[in-house]
Amino acid sequence: MWATNDDGKKHSEQIEMNFFTEAYEHATGMELTILYSIESPDFLCRKDNNDIVGVELTKVIIDYDCVYKVTDVTPEDEADPIRILDEAWSAIEIKDAKRKKLYGELKDKTILVLQLHDCPLESLMPFIHENTKSDYSSTGFIEIWLADYTRNEAYGDIELFGLHPEKYWGFSKRPGPDRKPFG
């Protein structure tokens, strides 16, 4: 039997989610265990404290070709950081509306992960300002993360920037940030 596009999408989401759970534990000190792959939100998970939460993965992309590249994004390939941040805010608004309508019991228990594929966090960080912290609390997501997938081929992991809640605000470097790529 041939795999459908949905099967391929779910398989890719599972791989991307595995990267996120590892980075999440590094950033928060809390393990996030995947229980099920579902549709809205994408995953049902359990935190260390036994809270059941949903996790919604959302790609923030300007250049869709970058998602299918085998190699990591180079500086010449990077999308404009301001445009990426605008797209990220639009994605938050769209996903928040979807959360209210479709997430049922998880509507107030969902983590939003904004996946960056064509602009690394280090290029965005000069444009993410402390005075915007409260902007993200107006959504119904319990946590919002920017997740840098631009270099996961080279390093085998991702980096995070916590946008909400304030206790997670900021950049979380990958484990062993001084190690060389590809090994």
DSSP 70-83: SSPPPGGGPPPHHH
Task: For residue 67, tell me if it sits in a domain.
Answer: yes
pLDDT at 1: 34
Residue 92 domain-assigned (yes or no): yes
Among 168, 174, 57, 32, residue whose Cα is nearest residue 116: 57
The pLDDT of residue 9 is 77
Within a domain: 183: no
Count of domains forming the chain? 1
Instruction: Report residues of the chain scoring pLDDT below 50.
Output: 1-4, 66-68, 70-71
Give the C-alpha separation, 103 to 100, whole Å. 7
Q: Are 45 and 36 in contact (CB under 8 A)?
A: no
pLDDT at 28: 96
List, for residues 88-107, the tens digit of each pLDDT value: 999 999 999 999 999 999 99
Can you list the positions of beta strands (E) in the chain?
Answer: 32-37, 43-47, 52-60, 110-116, 143-148, 159-164, 170-172
Q: List all residues 6 or more positions away from 183 whose beta carbon is below 8 Å from its beta carbon.
A: none
Q: Is residue 8 part of a domain?
A: no
Residue 135 has what pLDDT?
85
- pLDDT at residue 5, rounded to an integer: 57
Q: Residue 143 is part of which domain span?
A: 22-172
5 domain residue, yes or no = no
Residue 104 lies in a domain: yes
Instruction: Say if 68 falls within a structural domain.
Output: yes
Query: What is the pLDDT at residue 75?
Result: 56
Rounded to two decimals, what is the model's pTM?
A: 0.86
Residue 101 falls within a domain, yes or no?
A: yes
The per-residue pLDDT for 177 is 54
